[in-house]
Amino acid sequence: MYNRRAMTYRTQIKGSLVALVTPMSADGAVDYPCLDRLIEWHIEQGTDAIVSVGTTGESATLGVAEHLQVIQYTIDRVAKRIPVIAGTGANATAEAQLLTREAFAVGADACLLVTPYYNKPTQEGLYRHYAAIAGNADGPLILYNVPGRTACDLKPETVERLLPCEAIVAIKEATGTLERIKALVELDPDFVVYTGDDATACASMLIGARGDISVTANVAPARMHQMCMAAIDGDRETAMALDADLAGLHQHLFAEPNPIPVKWALNRMGRIPEGIRLPMTPLAEDFYPLVENALIQAGVKL
């Protein structure tokens, strides 16, 4: 079993961790050559880590075999140049265990596990779910709390109960409340807190979060890296100045449910095709000007 105390995880993975989209052709097939190009671009731009097939990567609409294929492809292409975190959460504990086991077998640096969605488990159910996965994990696990999408809120007291599980090293907290970030940061100095809310990411890192698992980083990777590192280093003035230009993206990349707007933005930038899988649909035309203007404000080349 993985031992958290034997690893300097706190200093290994921090900064701008892109929640990478899964590029798809018009018929919904994964576009692997395009994925190659995205990976290379992120490495060139300074992205600190890639999250493969997280919820932004449309994990809910990829089958298990396909899900694992994209993870392995990403790990192979990155070739250890930056960390790769595999999205392996599921609303069935057995499926999450399978995905996690297979992701570590092909070389994932960590696994990100969203709370079970739709089921609406109790706090006891969440504790048992994560404890079961951690019980035989072969690498570090990152909890992921995003109640706005899952109808399930992983409370700080339940996170605290999970801290003795050696494999659980971090959490992605996406409630967007600084009070929650602060409460989690104060649990344990060796427990890493990431924000999953771009709009409050700068403020979250200034109070102790170690990075942002980011949607905005898909389209503005260099600036997100710079902002995150400035905030983590406590350079408030620089971090806030960089973040000011990103504010429109933080807002309008959620004009419709993620990843609809960010996929449109990347297509507008010429980086991916238009493909997205049902039940998600392409961005409504009414939102084109909002997203395009946010890209321009952030200095993104169109």
Binding residues for pyruvate: 56, 213
- Let me know if residue 275 belongs to a domain: no
Cα 139 to its chain centre, rounded Å, is 17
161 by Cβ neighbours in 10 Å (0-12 / 13-18 / 19+) ranks as: middle
> Could you confirm whether 2 is annotated as catalytic?
no
Binding residues: 56, 213
**Is 253 within the bounds of a domain?**
no
Number of CB atoms found within 10 A of residue 178's CB: 16
Per-residue pLDDT of the chain (302 residues; tens, 9 = 90+): 555 544 555 448 999 999 999 999 999 999 999 999 999 999 999 999 999 999 999 999 999 999 999 999 999 999 999 999 999 999 999 999 999 999 999 999 999 999 999 999 999 999 999 999 999 999 999 999 999 999 999 999 999 999 999 999 999 999 999 999 999 999 999 899 999 999 999 999 999 999 999 999 999 999 999 999 999 999 999 999 999 999 999 999 999 999 999 999 999 999 999 999 999 999 999 999 999 999 999 999 99
Residue 297, in any domain of the structure = no
Residue 279 CA neighbour count, 13 Å, CB half: 2
* Among 144, 182, 194, 263, the one annotated catalytic: 144
3-state DSSP call for residue 180? helix
- Residue 4: predicted pLDDT: 56
**What's the token pair of residue 205?**
């890192």
Is residue 98 in a domain?
yes
Amino acid 211: pLDDT: 98
Taking Cα atoms as reference points, which of 21, 58, 15 lies closest to residue 262?
Answer: 21
CB 280 within 8 A of CB 257: yes
Distance, in Å, from the CA atom of 53 to the CA atom of 23, rounded to the nearest integer, reads 11
Domain that holds residue 24: 9-235
Q: What is the CATH number of the domain that holds 48?
A: 3.20.20.70
Model pLDDT, residue 6: 42
Quick one: tokens of 91? Answer: 């609303």
Contacts of 29 (CB under 8 A, 6+ apart): 275
* In-domain check, residue 137: yes
Among 127, 172, 194, 263, the active-site one is 172
Q: According to the model, what pLDDT value does residue 12 have?
A: 80
Is 172 annotated as catalytic?
yes
So what's the pLDDT on residue 7?
55
Residue 230 CA: distances (Å) to CA of 15, 50, 286 = 9, 19, 35
| SS3 at position 245 | helix
Q: How far is CA 101 from CA 79, 91, 125, 229, 262, in A?
A: 20, 16, 21, 31, 30
Query: Are 77 and 69 in contact, with CB atoms under 8 Å apart?
Result: no
Secondary structure percentages of the chain, helix, strand, coil, to 5:
50, 15, 40
The verdict on residue 256 lying in a domain is no
- Give yes or no for a contact between 110 and 76, defined as CB atoms under 8 angstroms apart: no
Domain count, the chain: 1
Q: Is residue 231 part of a domain?
A: yes
Asked if residue 177 is part of any domain, the answer here is yes
